[in-house]
Structure 1
Amino acid sequence: MFSAAIFDMDGLLIDSERPIMAAWMAAARTLDVELSHAQYLQVVGLATAESEIILSGLLGGPAAFRHALEHVRQALALERSDGTPLFPIKPGAAEFLGALRARGTRCAVASSSTSGQIQACLGSLGVLHHFEAFAGGDEVPRAKPDPALYLLAASRLGVDPTQCIAFEDSENGAKAALAAGLRVVIVPDLKHPPAAIVEQAFHVLESLHDANAHLPRWFPGEMVRP
């Protein structure tokens, strides 16, 4: 039915949102500010510039934001020192990617992270080889929900967007994929997309573990790789 799969990365393939949220909450406490879970969720799925505006308001202004940002960077850098990946792979992701590869399904990543961050992160988790193309936020003029990232990823695969399924966790990511003409499978992470977006989705999954059951119908390719 479809010939390619295009994946978001943060919150979809990797469990990055939780450690980043924890780092921001800890950084806020150095400013004597209690940043709540609900407050932080306001920035999930937003572009960097939009997130900065909201966090600056929550933390007490631009100077407070810069102070907290430095703490966040230091905290996340420290987590790398034990040799483990900074962000673990999400449950079911590696298995699903392997199953797609075995069927000969072409895969790409369309992420607001930079292209360098995408390849470094997925390389550290041992799944980079499953992807033929990458589209990073540093390569397009506008972030999600603009469709540019998905259009670039589909173009680099050489596949019509209407022949692709996008796998997304966020509202803005789903909007971007829909605007580009892809079908969207939503796998919610920290923040469940609103009903209006869910209604437009091709399917909603609890986790990528559940995606394997749909492979024969969504990607009916032959088993070509071990």
Structure 2
Amino acid sequence: MRDFDAVVFDMDGVIFDSERAVLECWLELADKYAIPNIMEPYLACTGTTMARTREIMMETYGPDFPYDEYAAEASVMFHERYDGGRLPMKRGVREILEYLKSHGKRIALASSTRRQTVINQLRDAKILDYFDEVVTGDMVERSKPEPDIFLLACEKVGVAPTRAFAIEDSYNGIRAAHSGKLRPIMVPDLRPADAEMKELAEVVLEDLEAVLAYLL
């Protein structure tokens, strides 16, 4: 086994296939309301908080863009489809959590999503009890790509950042983990690793099964 004390997981796009699910909702809205080029700003929002997402969308489409109305509609669509444990999990989630827990490693979650949503989704998937600490976007002032959320997660589990892996799919998440001096592992979801990501991440791997094999 590699020498480390903790693993800090992102949630959306790492634990759950939720970024793709939310994207599908926004693509439907884009078609319904003729919103142009939704993919580019949506991808720029991955890994950020709700507040930063709103800023990016308003910067992209201008001050008259009815973001709040569209976001509320997208939220209703998402929850109708995926609440109650229906949100698909990524391959290898239970296996890596079980392995880390059985080998005495600290496990934290660092998600930019608001806390109640995170807790509900982890509980519905019956994996909440694996996590020693859950840190969310509404618990820190600055969102990813700033390192605050990862540093708080490490503080809460009592582990130095340099002794923790961070598993992320988003560019902002990898930037945040690297800035915080954790050991970033990128598992790409909607966006493949570019040259910057390959430089910032310790390794880029296909899925959590590959991550587990890497940690062994």
Matches within 5 A, 1:1-226: 1-38=3-40, 40-56=42-58, 61-80=63-82, 83-85=84-86, 87-216=87-216
CA 1:63–1:36: 2 relative to 1, 3 Å? closer
Deviation at residue 56 of structure 1 after TM alignment: 3.6
CA 1:18–1:57: 2 relative to 1, 3 Å? same
Query: Please, what is the CA RMSD of the aligned residues?
Result: 2.0
CA 1:147–1:58: 2 relative to 1, 3 Å? closer
Is the 8 Å Cα contact of residues 12 and 90 (structure 1) preserved in structure 2? yes
Matched residue of 1:5: which SS? strand
CA 1:73–1:56: 2 relative to 1, 3 Å? same
Deviation at residue 99 of structure 1 after TM alignment: 1.2
CA distance in 1, matches of 2:72, 2:153: 32
Is the 8 Å Cα contact of residues 147 and 176 (structure 1) preserved in structure 2? yes
Matched residue of 2:144: which SS? coil
Matched residue of 1:167: which SS? strand
CA 1:175–1:139: 2 relative to 1, 3 Å? same
CA 1:184–1:50: 2 relative to 1, 3 Å? same
Q: TM-score normalised to the size of structure 1?
A: 0.86
CA distance in 1, matches of 2:65, 2:36: 17
Matched residue of 2:200: which SS? coil
CA distance in 1, matches of 2:147, 2:36: 35
Q: Is 35-44 or 176-185 further displaced after alignment?
A: 35-44
CA distance in 1, matches of 2:65, 2:38: 20
Identical-pair percentage: 34
List alignment gaps of at least 5 residues for structure 1: 217-226
Is the 8 Å Cα contact of residues 28 and 68 (structure 1) preserved in structure 2? no
Q: Deviations over 1:62-105 (max 9, x none)?
A: 44323322220221122147x442x2111111111111112111
CA 1:39–1:133: 2 relative to 1, 3 Å? closer
Structure 1 segments (4+ residues) deviating >6 Å: none
Is the 8 Å Cα contact of residues 30 and 38 (structure 2) preserved in structure 1? no
Q: TM-score normalised to the size of structure 2?
A: 0.90
Is the 8 Å Cα contact of residues 146 and 176 (structure 2) preserved in structure 1? yes
